[in-house]
């Protein structure tokens, strides 16, 4: 078992250093920083030498679980393999070391990559134009909703201030709606796990701006009545927003644009294999119909003859949602992934991710409650309710026990409409042997829950730390190192 | 077969058989026929790895990069030195292929690294709390306006025109849809025009928002602005360059309520503008108004020190539409780059970097002033400064580019009132020889 690591501040010793800088080759400035602006006490950054830094962060890294170490079936997060070649090409100095304000003629390769990536993402989603500016999925949601709001205001329909969101939606959906000043109306799910179309009809009015949908939804189920939903929303003057968190299941199979969506966000860090980085950087491009294209953030990348350029002259644009053009290195990785896979490869991604999910569900279905019994798409939701009722062992206990067996837990307690939910997304980059081993482990944990509940409740045991006291952490927050202690 | 997908023909047959179906198509039958994709995407590929590399090298080769020219351009992104250990650490799969640390028992590496990052940012800014990172300097600046509005229950902010135009643009977009009013105030000799602020400040204003060193590189008088803001119950929000904070007083010590900034200068490559990271730090009073993730220290069931994501009741996955922000994925790996950078440079190194920038920028300014360029503002500056060129900046920059230099930022687009204004950044990477050649070429344009 790996031991906890000391904090870098605890290694600090005055006089040590881990850097080398050239001597100053210009005269010292005659003009001094005015005394009232000058720092009085040095920032207490650590004083360590280079080996300390390398060992410290390497040891820390070893306390992490990661896709490179094993199966990571985190539902709605698409923890697929992050190809090494994408990391390598994104670090080419001609991509990594560009200043965003360099003259356009010196960054034609970068602009061409962005232009071509936009075209590819439009083809994949069935949309007309896209922006690569949003830095993450939630940022894309916010940008997409701003576009919807701006378009409605332009049409003179600013009174449409409500947005419909399913009760199974990601938390970012309602939070993004609030950021943009929309009021949230929640639509129920029906007995098949789809949007309850009758409930939807009741919610519609001339105050509704539109609907945010994930398809397949967070239960891993395809919205079978999607075209009917699109007719209802469009018929009442609203717009459809597609949350791209689950696009992996649709690659080469169905396009949001063909389903009737007006705005689509993509998570390059899910569907297009770019790494999650322990919580970012991601990238959340937005693709839209041609009617909404004038509202995209500035700048767009345009082409005139063989020259690529940035276009800021877009009077209806919502403006900017972050500085510059987005997370460019992430775009490079996604571009490399699409080129590596090609059209057949992308369809294979969807087919194998869906095959994997259904195969795994088949192996587990007799041992856990299954709230919706249908073919799933790239992920599925089961419940630990049976175990909780019978033995008091919760979903949280069972997934913590998974850690002892070397697996990352699935997403838990989400979606909110399924009690004791476990949301499992195997992705296409896992083999049948891995799925078999995971299924056997889950089944044996279900048995342990019956036979030896305390063992499960006290897990994990083989980790650098055991379960942590989150209540005290929130009650008496310690959010930085105490130098005085 | 595909190298990222393990399924052999036999595997697929075995899996289909287990499911009792003949073809994988049966799993997609719930997709309505009219929306099923019956053709291939019109996208290029597949490319074998070696072919992909050639293609990518060809594209990258069309770009001039900071490794083969000398850059005097800043305006928010700076050509600072990045020690090799930064990329070595963040290239570890255990860091970059992990998800957000929701399962603390197997995420202590990421959690502790963020805790260390938070501690370092709090040291630099002089604040009580910071989060695990924001998208960039611009969005952290915009989000801080919402924090101030929420804390003061007011719906208007005042923002300095000497704040980075990208940040102001993002602030306008964010606030427009949320119904928060932004009024801008002017600058005088490159610094906040206090008289203009006084005229616009009243008890409806949630915050005064400034940048220091500001877009012109000029150091602002934070203490005076803080006093003014607080006199009307408003907050002071400062966007700061973290490198400058090695030499400049921590904004927290001068009365700032929220300190935001762009972290790129801390060990992140220029990357054509991203990914970098934004930081957002605040006083203890604002702890529960913070957007995004915060790591806290606690103990495990056996009393050992450990770290968790804390105060999650503020966040979207718990609070949904009532969350302090919608932010979920942030820029964690970029913040880790910042933490490794700050650990490598340490207490002395960061000061040394800041002093090198300061001295070199002042040397470049003095030399250019000798060659017919006029200093636009007399106010003190850090590593960036504005000159009035004797002719349009575009022409000078074109000449410089031919000689392998990326010239300064042309202020004519965003600040037409500063005629022929030229914003020049000088980092520790610029040698005296480069500065002298730069001055020679630019000076040669003065006739």
User: CB distance A21–B26 less than 8 Å?
Assistant: no
Residue B52 inside a domain? The answer is no
Nearest CB to A110 within list B63, B245, B334: B63
Residue B120 inside a domain? The answer is yes
Q: Are A387 and A350 in contact (CB under 8 A)?
A: no
The answer to whether B411 faces chain A, any CB pair under 8 Å, is no
Residue B27 inside a domain? The answer is no
Residue B393 inside a domain? The answer is yes
Q: Which of residues 251-270 of A touch B (CB under 8 A)?
A: 252-255, 258-259, 269
Tokens found for residue A147: 């576009």
Same domain, B402 and B318: no
Closest CA to B89 of B113, B65, B55: B113
Of B340, B361, B383, the one marking the end of a domain is B340
How many structural domains is chain B composed of?
A: 2
Could you tell me how many residues make up chain A?
A: 485
Residue B46 inside a domain? The answer is no
User: CB distance B316–A259 less than 8 Å?
Assistant: no
Of B303, B324, B340, the one marking the end of a domain is B340
Tokens found for residue A379: 């992920």
Domain containing B211: what range? 84-340
pLDDT of residue B447: 67
The answer to whether A101 faces chain B, any CB pair under 8 Å, is yes
Helix axes A172-179 and A137-154, enclosed angle (nearest 10): 40
Q: What is the CATH number of the domain that holds B209?
A: 3.40.640.10
Residue B9 inside a domain? The answer is no
Same domain, B95 and B132: yes
Same domain, B115 and B75: no
Give chain B positions within 8 Å (CB) of A282. Answer: 329
pLDDT tens for the 447 residues of chain B, in order:
789 999 999 999 999 999 999 999 999 999 999 999 999 999 999 999 999 999 999 999 999 999 999 999 999 999 999 999 999 999 999 999 999 999 999 999 999 999 999 999 999 999 999 999 999 999 999 999 999 999 999 999 999 999 999 999 999 999 999 999 999 999 999 999 999 999 999 999 999 999 999 999 999 999 999 999 999 999 999 999 999 999 999 999 999 999 999 999 999 999 999 999 999 999 999 999 999 999 999 999 999 999 999 999 888 888 888 889 999 999 999 999 999 999 999 999 999 999 999 999 999 999 999 999 999 999 999 999 999 999 999 999 999 999 999 999 999 999 999 999 999 999 999 999 999 999 999 999 876
Give chain B positions within 8 Å (CB) of A428. Answer: 4-5, 7
Same domain, B328 and B367: no
pLDDT, one tens digit per residue, over A397-411 is 999 999 999 999 999
The answer to whether A340 faces chain B, any CB pair under 8 Å, is yes
Same domain, B422 and B402: yes
Torsion sign (Cα): B77, B83, B84, B90 = negative
Closest CA to A410 of A439, A374, A390, A447: A439
Same domain, B157 and B266: yes
User: CB distance A18–B76 less than 8 Å?
Assistant: no
Give chain B positions within 8 Å (CB) of A60. Answer: 108-110, 112-113
CA dist A422 and A411 (Å) reads 6
CA dist B53 and B57 (Å) reads 6
Same domain, B334 and B381: no
Torsion angle defined by CA atoms of residues B385, B388, B389 and B392, in that order, rounded to the nearest 10 degrees: 100
Q: What is the CATH number of the domain that holds B380?
A: 3.90.1150.10
Same domain, B279 and B224: yes
CA dist A94 and A103 (Å) reads 14
Torsion sign (Cα): A250, A255, A256, A259 = negative
Of B279, B311, B340, the one marking the end of a domain is B340
Give chain A positions within 8 Å (CB) of B189. Answer: none
Distance of residue B391 Cα from the nearest chain A Cα, in angstroms: 18
Same domain, B264 and B380: no
Run of H or E residues at A129? strand A129-131
Residue B227 inside a domain? The answer is yes
Same domain, B290 and B194: yes
Average pLDDT per 10 consecutive residues for chain A, totaling 485 residues: 86 97 97 97 98 98 98 97 98 98 98 98 98 98 98 97 96 95 97 97 98 97 98 98 98 98 98 97 98 98 98 98 98 98 98 98 98 97 97 98 98 96 98 98 97 97 94 96 91
CA dist B172 and B276 (Å) reads 21
Closest CA to B325 of B358, B278, B357, B368: B278
Distance of residue B371 Cα from the nearest chain A Cα, in angstroms: 18
Same domain, B320 and B352: no
Give the domains, in start order, of chain A with CATH numbers.
85-340 (3.40.640.10), 346-471 (3.90.1150.10)
Distance of residue A288 Cα from the nearest chain B Cα, in angstroms: 17
Residue B124 inside a domain? The answer is yes
User: CB distance A328–B271 less than 8 Å?
Assistant: yes
Same domain, B109 and B249: yes
């Amino acid at each position: 078992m790996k031991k906890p690591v000391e904090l870098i501040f605890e290694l600090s010793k005055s006089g040590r250093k881990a850097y080398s800088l050239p001597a100053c080759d210009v005269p010292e400035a005659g003009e001094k920083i005015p005394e009232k602006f000058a720092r009085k006490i040095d920032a207490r950054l650590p004083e360590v030498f280079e080996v300390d830094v390398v060992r410290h962060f390497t040891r820390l890294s070893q306390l992490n679980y990661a896709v490179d170490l094993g199966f990571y079936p985190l539902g709605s997060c698409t923890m697929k393999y992050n190809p090494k070649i994408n990391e390598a090409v994104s670090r080419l100095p001609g991509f990594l070391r560009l200043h965003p304000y360099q003259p356009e003629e010196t960054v034609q390769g970068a602009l061409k990559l962005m232009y071509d990536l936009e075209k590819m993402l439009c083809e994949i989603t069935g949309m007309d134009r896209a922006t690569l500016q949003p830095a993450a999925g939630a940022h894309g949601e916010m940008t997409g909703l701003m576009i919807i709001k701006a378009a409605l205001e332009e049409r003179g329909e600013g009174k449409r201030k409500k947005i419909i969101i399913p009760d199974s939606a990601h938390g970012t959906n309602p939070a993004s709606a609030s950021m943009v000043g929309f009021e949230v109306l929640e639509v129920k799910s029906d007995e098949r796990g789809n949007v309850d179309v009758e409930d939807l009809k009741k919610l519609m009015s001339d105050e509704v701006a539109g609907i945010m949908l994930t398809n397949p939804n967070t239960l891993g189920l395809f919205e079978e009545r999607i075209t009917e939903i699109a007719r209802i929303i469009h018929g009442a003057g609203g717009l459809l927003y597609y949350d791209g968190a689950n696009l992996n299941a649709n690659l080469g199979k169905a396009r949001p644009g063909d389903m009737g969506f007006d705005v689509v966000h993509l998570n390059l860090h899910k569907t297009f294999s770019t790494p999650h980085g322990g919580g970012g950087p991601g990238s959340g491009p937005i693709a839209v119909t041609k009617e909404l294209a004038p509202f995209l953030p500035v700048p767009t990348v345009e082409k005139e003859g063989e020259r690529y350029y940035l276009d800021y002259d877009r009077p209806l644009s919502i403006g900017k949602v972050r500085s510059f053009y987005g997370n460019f290195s992430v775009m490079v990785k996604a571009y490399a992934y699409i080129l590596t896979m090609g059209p057949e490869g992308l369809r294979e991604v969807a087919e194998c991710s869906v095959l994997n999910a259904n195969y795994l569900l088949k192996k587990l279905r007799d041992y856990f409650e299954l709230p919706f019994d249908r073919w799933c798409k790239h992920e599925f939701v089961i419940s630990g309710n049976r175990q909780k009722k019978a033995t008091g062992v919760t979903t949280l206990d069972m997934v913590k026990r998974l850690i002892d067996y070397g697996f990352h837990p699935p997403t838990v307690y989400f979606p909110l409409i399924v009690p004791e939910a476990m949301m499992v997304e195997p992705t296409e980059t896992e083999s049948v042997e891995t799925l078999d081993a995971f299924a056997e482990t889950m089944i044996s944990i279900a048995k342990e829950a019956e036979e030896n509940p305390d063992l499960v409740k006290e897990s994990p045991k083989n980790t650098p730390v055991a379960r942590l006291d989150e209540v005290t952490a929130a009650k008496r927050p310690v959010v930085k190192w105490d130098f005085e202690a | 077969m595909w190298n990222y997908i393990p399924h052999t023909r036999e595997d697929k047959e075995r899996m289909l058989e287990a499911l009792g179906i003949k073809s994988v198509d049966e799993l997609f039958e719930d997709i309505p026929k009219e929306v099923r994709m019956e053709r291939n995407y019109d996208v290029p590929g597949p490319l074998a790895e070696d072919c992909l590399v050639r293609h990518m090298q060809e594209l990258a080769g069309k770009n001039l990069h900071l490794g083969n020219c000398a850059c005097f351009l800043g305006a928010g992104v700076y050509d600072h030195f990045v020690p090799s250990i930064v990329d070595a650490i963040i290239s570890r799969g255990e860091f970059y292929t992990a998800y957000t640390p929701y399962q603390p028992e197997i995420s202590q590496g990421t959690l502790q690294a963020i805790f260390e990052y938070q501690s370092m940012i709090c040291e630099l800014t002089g604040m009580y709390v910071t989060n695990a990172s924001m998208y960039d300097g611009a969005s952290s600046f915009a989000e801080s306006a919402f924090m101030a509005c929420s804390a003061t229950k007011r719906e208007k902010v005042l923002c300095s025109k000497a704040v980075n135009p990208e940040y102001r643009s993002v602030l306008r977009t964010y606030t427009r849809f949320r119904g928060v009013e932004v009024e801008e105030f002017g600058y005088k000799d490159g610094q906040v025009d206090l008289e203009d602020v006084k005229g616009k400040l009243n008890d409806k204003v949630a915050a005064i928002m400034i940048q220091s060193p500001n877009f012109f590189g000029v150091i602002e008088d934070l203490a005076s602005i803080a006093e003014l803001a607080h006199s009307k119950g408003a907050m002071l929000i400062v966007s700061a360059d973290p490198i400058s904070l090695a030499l400049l007083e921590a904004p927290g010590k001068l009365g700032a309520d929220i300190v935001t900034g762009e972290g790129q200068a801390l060990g992140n490559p220029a990357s054509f503008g991203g990914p970098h990271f934004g930081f957002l730090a605040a006083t203890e009073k604002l702890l529960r108004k913070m957007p995004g993730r915060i790591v806290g220290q606690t103990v495990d069931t056996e009393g050992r020190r450990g770290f968790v994501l804390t105060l999650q009741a503020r966040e979207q996955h718990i609070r949904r539409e009532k969350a302090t922000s919608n932010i979920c994925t942030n820029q964690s790996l970029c913040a880790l780059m910042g933490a490794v950078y700050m650990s490598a440079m340490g207490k002395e190194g960061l000061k040394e970097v800041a002093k090198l920038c300061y001295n070199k920028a002042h040397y470049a300014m003095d030399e250019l002033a000798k060659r017919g360029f006029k200093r636009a503002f007399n106010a003190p500056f850090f590593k960036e400064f504005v000159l009035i060129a004797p002719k349009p900046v575009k022409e000078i920059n074109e000449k410089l580019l031919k000689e392998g230099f990326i010239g300064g930022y042309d202020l004519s687009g965003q600040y037409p009132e500063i005629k022929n204004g030229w914003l020049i950044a000088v980092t520790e990477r610029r040698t005296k020889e480069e500065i002298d050649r730069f001055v020679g070429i630019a000076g040669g344009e003065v006739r």
